[in-house]
Amino acid sequence: MKKLVELKSVYAGYNDEVILTDVSLDIYDNDFIGIIGPNGGGKTTLLKVILGLIKPYKGTVKFYTNDTHKRNKIGYLPQFNKIDQKFPIKVIDIVLSGLIFGNKLFFKYSKSDYTKACDTLKRIGISNLKDYPVGALSGGQLQKVLLARALISSPRLLILDEPNTYVDNQFEGELYKILEELNNEMAIIIVSHDIGTIASYIKTIACVNRSLHYHKSNKITEAQLASYNCPIKLITHGEVPHTVLSKHNH
């Protein structure tokens, strides 16, 4: 196990309002962490700190990526309702954009970049969508395209912000299967409002509600959640049969 990222007593938020207080977290190379917590508790803020989108007021975020081969540090799949679904862009171009890095203005794709993009689409099982305009995609299809964009740079850490909202159960099942496979190559952090369905795939649970409680198992009880100050209901939706949560002991 190699350490990838280290957060040390981080305080962060927006417009001088502190949302996260004293958060420390170590992320290792084969981690599969599920982040849960109430709305407004700071789940997205935590992701943004790790992604480098906001600077912490206090504390440090450190990356341990001293490998020689060129790999992107983080692949990011944002909440898809933040993305303009009428923007005139083709699927293949979205995936290719995952290969653009750094403080450069000029960028040109090579043939191997294009092949890489096609391979990534194939891996996720959406080769047929290659030339579709983004406006013609369903929610689940768009999520897969965004996943391909995050994966094309072979990141060390994959961050997914609520990938299971607005998609059907079939897509959810497919997504988790892909993630399970990817976990052999990279660490994964997934934010979810629905801990029930992700519980059997994730290895550990991080409860974020202003502060962070790290639970080093994928089994958690409501009593434990309460003690973490993380008032979440343990429910599963529909027919997805992956609940492995312990029942109350009383």
Partner 1 sequence: MLAELFEYKFIVNSLLAGILASISCGIIGTYIVTRRMVFLSGGITHASFGGIGIGYYFGFNPVIAAAIFAVFSALGIEFLSKKTDVREDSVIGILWSLGMAIGIIFVFITPGYAPNLMTYLFGSILTVSTLDIILMAIVSVVIILIFIFFYHTILFVAYDQEFAQTHKLPVNFINNLLISLVALTIVLNIKVVGIILVISLLTIPQSIANLFTNEFKNIIIISIVIGLIGALMGLLISYQINIPSGASIIFSLVIFFILAKMFQIIKHKILLKINA
| Residue 210 interacting with partner 1 (CB under 8 A) | no
Residue choice 76, 171, 176, 228 for contact with partner 1 (CB under 8 A): 76
Q: How many residues bind partner 1 (CB under 8 A)?
A: 35
Q: How far is the CB of 72 from partner 1 (least distance, A)?
A: 8
C-alpha 123 chain-centroid distance: 18
Q: Is residue 88 involved in binding partner 1 (CB under 8 A)? A: yes
Kindly tell me the burial class for residue 50, based on how many C-beta atoms sit within 10 Å of its own C-beta (0-12, 13-18, 19 or more).
buried
In the bound state with partner 1, the residue whose beta carbon lies nearer, of 116 and 215, is: 116
Q: How far is the CB of 127 from partner 1 (least distance, A)?
A: 19
Contact criterion met (CB below 8 Å) for 87 and 134: yes
φ, ψ at 149 (rounded to 5°): -65, -40
Parallel, antiparallel, or unpaired: how do β-strands 3-14 and 74-77 relate?
Answer: unpaired
Q: Does 101 bind partner 1 (CB under 8 A)?
A: yes
Site string for partner 1, 21-60 (x = CB under 8 A): ------------------------------xxx-------
Dihedral pair phi/psi, residue 159, rounded to 5°: -115, 125
Question: Which residues lie across from 20 on neighbouring strands?
Answer: 12
Shortest approach of partner 1 to residue 114 CB, angstroms?
13
Which residues within the stretch 137-176 sit at the binding site for partner 1 (CB under 8 A)?
149
Alpha-carbon distance of 78 to 80, in angstroms, equals 6
Are 125 and 174 contacting, i.e. CB atoms less than 8 angstroms apart? Answer: yes
CA distance 43 to 51: 13
The reply to whether 74 sits near partner 1 by the rule CB under 8 A is yes
**Residue 158 phi, psi dihedral angles, 5° rounding:** -110, 125
Should residue 83 be labelled a site residue for partner 1 when binding is judged by CB under 8 A?
Answer: yes
Binding region for partner 1 (CB under 8 A): 15, 51-53, 72, 74, 76, 78, 82-84, 87-90, 93-94, 96-98, 100-109, 133-136, 149
